[in-house]
């Protein structure tokens, strides 16, 4: 049975249910327009039911102990292994990812789940010293309770797992609201994985709905104490403002405008490979993607020739074809917007070194250069297969250009002098920066997140422990103490 038939439901308190809303979310294949599923949306009543179920289930789950939680997560890893081919097929069909992208996403999701299994046994506290004689300080790490997760469409299975797995491992319950373009791979597929792994009912709930139906109820509800959101900075500002009004903690992973910088002493061939991957992975629909590729003028001709040749050779088409490197963008609205963006840039004076066609949702890659200084295109996120080549004169100018954006998520610099690269990276206002690598990187052990309009908070590894637990100070006075009063 297809996931798109089996999992096209709400998942609340361990039950697969039909939503009670008055309309359906239609899940389409972005490549061929095939209708994959119709899912009747959930209402504010079901939001309340999901959160109340999570609230009831959370305390027994936390009390069950770390080893019990670890066992469930270990079984979830086994379940994913058994469903690997079906999950890959679902990612290809639902979000237009290529086979390579699907395998990359599943592999990373498994790594994050493995790390969550280790986090389940995280030390529950510490014993800080006290200046008071006879006082014992105990600082406990406790689950926050219920976590709300709002996911994106681009890497839906992976990004949901990055919050769901550590939150569960640390004793919390979770309610997920997936993106409407990825309701299965970003939502109910995780419910199936953990249900098959024996997760007790109520600990993971999935609501497929829309703000037009529920407004801010998913964030405003009194039960969740942490909101983990991945998406645009425009929506993230709203999520952050509403959550702050209710004193909720947020982890906001938002938009980016990353730069890949090629210094004059770089290995040009390697830099070209990194730039192609950084810009065109999943059609450029990646928050860490290298919107801007900065090249020192001393090597600009060589780099440009090799880069444009590599981009022109990328095959655009059916994501199921193993030769395809560029699949469809997520919908027709986005395809049209990208085409208009390229047209506008050329009209404003940019030169199209590679000019891709748009055929339905297939947007062939474009490479633009010669953008006027101050062009809005240089400071915004381009969520698609459009690369901007920007020449610079020397390292100081490169740093200035990299930082000239409201975003600060990721980036990379290429140089044969590693320590020079590290010094460059430390001058950039971003949460992550990589020397001689890609701008698109994620690692379960390393804090992930951005600066400026690219977000608040961090995920992964120890940062996930900080995100999904709270500290409680309990002190014990041994013997009589003297009170200064």
Residues recognised as catalytic: 253, 287
- String of b and e for 391-426 (b: at least 16 CB within 10 Å)? bbeebeebbebbeebebbbbbbbbbeeeeebeebbe
Rounded to whole angstroms, the Cα distance separating 188 from 205 reads 9
Q: How far is 194 from 57, CA to CA, in rounded Å?
A: 15
The pair of three-digit structure tokens given for residue 462, joined into one six-digit string: 């120890």
The full length of the chain comes to 485
Distance CA 200, CA 399 (A): 51
Distance CA 60, CA 63 (A): 5
SS3 call for 274 = helix
How far apart (Å, rounded) are the C-alpha atoms in residues 216 and 213? 9
The Cα–Cα gap between 430 and 411 comes to 8
| CA distance linking residue 364 with residue 339, whole number of Å | 10
401's enclosing H/E stretch is: helix 395-403
Residue 133 φ then ψ, to 5°? -60, 135
Cα separation, 209 vs 21, in Å, equals 9
Three-state SS across 294-305? EEECCCHHHHHH
């Amino acid at each position: 049975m297809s996931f798109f038939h089996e999992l096209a439901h709400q998942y609340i308190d361990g039950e697969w249910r039909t939503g009670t809303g008055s309309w359906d979310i239609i899940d389409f294949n972005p490549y061929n327009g095939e209708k994959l599923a119709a899912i009747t949306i959930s209402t504010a009543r079901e939001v309340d039911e999901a959160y109340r179920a999570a609230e009831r289930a959370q305390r027994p789950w936390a009390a069950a102990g770390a080893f019990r939680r670890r066992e469930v997560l270990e079984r979830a890893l086994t379940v994913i292994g058994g469903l690997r081919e079906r999950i890959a097929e679902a990612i290809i069909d639902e979000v237009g990812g290529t086979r390579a992208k699907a395998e990359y996403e599943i592999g990373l999701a498994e790594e994050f789940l493995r790390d969550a299994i280790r986090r389940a046994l995280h030390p529950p506290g510490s014993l800080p010293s006290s200046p008071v004689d006879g006082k014992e300080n105990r600082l406990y790490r406790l689950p926050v309770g219920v976590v709300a997760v709002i996911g994106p469409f681009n890497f839906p299975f992976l990004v949901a797992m990055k919050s769901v797995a550590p939150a569960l491992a640390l004793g919390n319950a979770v309610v997920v609201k997936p993106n409407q373009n990825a309701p299965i791979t970003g939502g109910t597929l995780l419910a199936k994985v953990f249900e098959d792994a024996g997760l007790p009912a109520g600990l993971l709930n999935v609501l497929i709905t829309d703000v037009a139906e529920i407004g801010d109820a998913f964030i405003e509800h009194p039960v969740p104490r942490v909101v983990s959101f991945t998406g645009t900075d425009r929506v993230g500002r709203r999520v952050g403002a509403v959550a702050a009004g209710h004193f909720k903690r947020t982890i906001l992973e938002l938009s980016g405008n990353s730069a890949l910088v090629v210094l004059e002493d770089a290995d040009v061939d390697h830099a070209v490979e990194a730039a192609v991957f950084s810009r065109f992975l999943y059609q450029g629909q990646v928050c860490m993607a290298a919107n801007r590729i900065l090249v020192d003028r001393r090597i600009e001709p060589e780099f440009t020739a090799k880069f444009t040749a590599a981009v022109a050779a990328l095959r655009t088409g059916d994501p199921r074809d193993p030769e395809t490197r560029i699949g469809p963008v997520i919908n027709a609205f986005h395809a049209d917007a990208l085409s208009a963006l390229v047209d506008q840039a050329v009209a404003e004076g940019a030169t199209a070194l590679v000019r891709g066609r748009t055929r339905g949702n297939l947007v062939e890659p474009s490479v633009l250069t010669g953008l006027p200084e101050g062009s809005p295109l240089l400071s915004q996120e381009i969520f698609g297969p459009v690369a901007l080549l920007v020449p610079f004169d020397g390292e100081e100018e490169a740093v200035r250009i990299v930082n000239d954006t409201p975003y600060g998520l990721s980036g990379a610099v290429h140089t044969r002098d590693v320590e020079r690269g590290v010094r460059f990276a430390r001058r950039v206002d971003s949460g992550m920066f990589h020397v001689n690598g890609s701008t698109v990187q994620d690692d379960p052990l390393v804090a992930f997140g951005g600066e400026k309009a690219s977000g608040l908070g961090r995920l992964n590894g120890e940062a996930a422990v900080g995100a999904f637990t709270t500290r409680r100070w309990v002190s014990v006075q041994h013997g009589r103490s003297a009170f200064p009063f």
